[in-house]
Amino acid sequence: MSTQKAHIWLRDEDRSTERRTALTPKNARILIEQGFDLTVERSDKRAFPDKDYEKVGCTLADPRSWVDAPSDTVVLGLKELAETPSELPHRMIHFAHIYKDQTGWEKEMARFVNGGGLLYDIEFLVGEDGRRVAAFGYWAGWMGAALGVHRLLERRAGKNIITNGVSPFESQSDIIDKLKALADEVDGPMPNAIVVGAKGRSGTGASECLEAVGLPVTKWDMEETRILNRTALLSHDLLVNCVLMTGPGLLLANQTHLSAPQSRMKVISDVSCDPFSDFNPLPLYKAPTSWTDPVIKVGKNSEGDDVEVTSIDNLPSLLPAQAAEEFSDQFLAPLMRFPDGVEWKNAELKFHEIRQKAGL
């Protein structure tokens, strides 16, 4: 078992829209008190200012200086890396999105293998019970539902607001107030929604958002999708998909299904957002939508209305501080067990399993 605490290097995110972080200043202070060395790259987009990290004892460094950090440094981030450097010699912690045959997964694995590094993919940090030790799922579901219902309600009111792009919101309550005001612009019953994967973290967040706005919500999980009633599914105005697929077995809807008789679906928020996977239960689009173009048209329903998809792959960054605080609080205990905790051993085993699968 390791006795010396690791040197953790919190990197600036390569993605320009990523304002979240895996480690808040509050929890950085706790790690330092426990004997960890912490270097934090300066960032002009992170939801927490550099000075707050410096104040608790972190050493500040320039963005992307992790590339030249000593090889025993542990590089911590959230989202995937830029394409350079071509070889990765460090132990790295982040969501890589390469373990489910996503486009380019073999090339990304080769960067670690050729550099002698190791990836601890946060999605596969699981405890003895097989559950992830930390996740943004709740906020992904909540924000995905918020964007979906926003588009649905603005269409009902004859508006096009989020089609011009989205940016981070001040708070959860601010979003709810805006959605309620949009709903009040039109008399009559509220549109209805269905959340698939409702019992998980994302599904819980999605359901709570929709209920807070006042939409009638149908909640489906494994029992309801085992034998899928697609007609019932598509009879809703809004679908929020929160199903995390790790293998074949579930097709919610394809292009043909959207225009089937009794289909009144208008907006689909695909929180799970896995268009590059062979297991995607919504093969309606080929790439995630974005902050600048959050909604795309994918077909028409049986009534001739457009069916649109929103599928942004870093939804919690639209509420960056709130999402990061909750995640960092979940992640603190596992970080304190690095590298000997069961979650780290499980993640390392997963890395070697995928490396062998790639023939590297």
Q: Per the domain annotation, does 2 fall within a domain?
A: no
DSSP run (H or E) holding 153:
helix 137-156
Q: Which comes out higher in pLDDT, residue 51 or 137?
A: 51
Q: Tell me the pLDDT tens digit for each residue of 243-276.
A: 977 677 799 999 999 999 999 999 999 999 989 8
| pLDDT at residue 278, as a whole number | 83
CA distance 133 to 136: 11
Domain co-membership, 90 together with 113: yes
Q: Which residue has the higher pLDDT, 100 or 89?
A: 89
pLDDT given at position 341:
97
Give all strands (DSSP E) within 102-215, no chain letters: 118-121, 193-196
Mean pLDDT to the nearest integer, 100-120: 94
Position 1 pLDDT exceeds 60: no
- Distance, CA of 315 to CA of 30 (rounded, Å): 28
Residues 245 and 347 in one domain: no
Residue 129 domain flag = no
The CATH number for 12's domain is: 3.40.50.720
Question: Do 333 and 351 fall into the same domain?
Answer: yes
Contact 16, 45 (CB under 8 A): yes
% of the chain with per-residue pLDDT over 70: 99
**Tens of pLDDT along 291-320?**
999 999 999 999 999 999 999 988 999 999
Q: Quick check: is 310 in a domain?
A: yes
- Backbone phi and psi for residue 225, each to the nearest 5 degrees, phi listed first: -100, -5
Q: What are phi and psi of 230, to 5 degrees?
A: -65, -30
Enter the tokens of residue 134: 């930390």
| Domain co-membership, 169 together with 241 | yes
| 302 in any annotated domain | yes
Instruction: Specify if 130 maps to a domain.
Output: no
Question: What's the whole-model pTM score?
Answer: 0.79
Q: Looking at the structure, do residues 235 and 300 belong to the same domain, yes or no?
A: yes
Q: What is the pLDDT of residue 4?
A: 81
Residue 117 within a domain: yes
Compute the mean pLDDT over every residue in the chain, rounded to the nearest whole number. Answer: 95
Residues 264 and 146 in one domain: yes
Distance from C-alpha of 115 to C-alpha of 226, rounded to nearest angstrom: 44
Is the confidence at residue 2, as pLDDT, over 70?
Answer: no
pLDDT band with cut points at 50, 70 and 90 for residue 112 = very high
Q: Which amino acid is at 12?
A: D
- Residues 15-34 have pLDDT tens digits of 988 999 999 999 999 999 99
- Cα separation, 210 vs 87, in Å, equals 44
Q: What pLDDT shows up at residue 108?
A: 96
89 class by beta-carbon count within 10 Å (0-12 exposed, 13-18 middle, 19+ buried):
buried
Return left, alpha or beta for 127; rule: phi > 0 is left, psi -120 to 50 is alpha, else beta: beta
Q: Which domain holds residue 61?
A: 7-124+320-357
Pair 200, 117 in one domain: no
Residues sharing a CB contact under 8 Å with residue 28, sequence separation 6 or more, in sequence order:
10, 38, 40, 53, 56, 57, 58
pLDDT of residue 3: 67
142 and 90 belong to one structural domain: no
Q: What local confidence, expressed as pLDDT, does residue 170 receive? A: 79
Annotated active-site positions, please?
79, 97
**What are the b/e assignments for 217-252, b being 16+ CB within 10 Å?**
bbbbbeebbeebeeeebbbbbbbbbbbbbeeeebeb
For residue range 175-228, list pLDDT tens digits in order.
Answer: 999 999 999 999 999 999 999 999 999 999 999 999 999 999 999 999 999 999
Ranges of beta strands (E only) in 149-301 are 193-196, 217-220, 238-241, 267-270, 296-300
Task: Label residue 103 by pLDDT band (50, 70, 90).
Answer: confident
Q: How many structural domains compose the chain?
A: 2
